[in-house]
Amino acid sequence: MNRSPALYVARFVFALAAVASDCAWAADAKIAAGASIYGNYCSNCHGDELRNTSGGATFDLTRLRPADHDRFVNSVLNGKTQMPPWRGVLDMEQIESIWSFIRATADR
């Protein structure tokens, strides 16, 4: 049976689209989980939707850049200035979900 290269390309493109769709869904789910966790643990101090409404008393999370990931994780785990440590309260999956929410919100 002789199959054309076009058929292989079409199957590859279809498979690639399916993987991309699954990745996008997973990213959206992580952002949604992060929004929920942020609302439960972070918004009281950092404001809704990262809008710092405390007059500068807390860090404005919209200032975080992608390169600040390690700094963010360290601050969440160990606390910083007025922020208490969340080690033992939030696990790494939750922290990464919050980071995904921050990135999705700040990058709009």
Note the pLDDT tens digit of each residue in 47-81: 887 877 666 678 889 889 999 999 999 999 999 98
pLDDT score of 21 more than 80: no
Q: Whole-angstrom Cα distance, residue 75 to residue 58?
A: 12
CATH label of the domain that carries residue 12: 1.10.760.10
Can you tell me whether residue 75 is helix, strand or coil? helix
What is the structure's pLDDT at 14? 58
The token pair that represents 10 in the structure block: 């079409």
CB neighbour burial string for 96-106, b if at least 16 within 10 angstroms, e if fewer: bbbbbbbbbbb
Higher-pLDDT residue of 101, 50: 101
Based on the structure, what is the number of domains in the chain?
Answer: 1
CA dihedral 24, 28, 29, 31 (to 10 degrees): 140
Q: Which long-range contacts (CB under 8 A, 24 or more apart) does 101-105 make?
A: 101/31, 101/33, 101/34, 101/35, 101/37, 101/38, 102/34, 102/38, 102/50, 102/61, 102/64, 102/72, 103/66, 104/31, 104/34, 105/49, 105/50, 105/62
> Mean pLDDT, the chain, as a whole number?
82
pLDDT score of 44 more than 90: no
Range of the domain at 24: 5-106
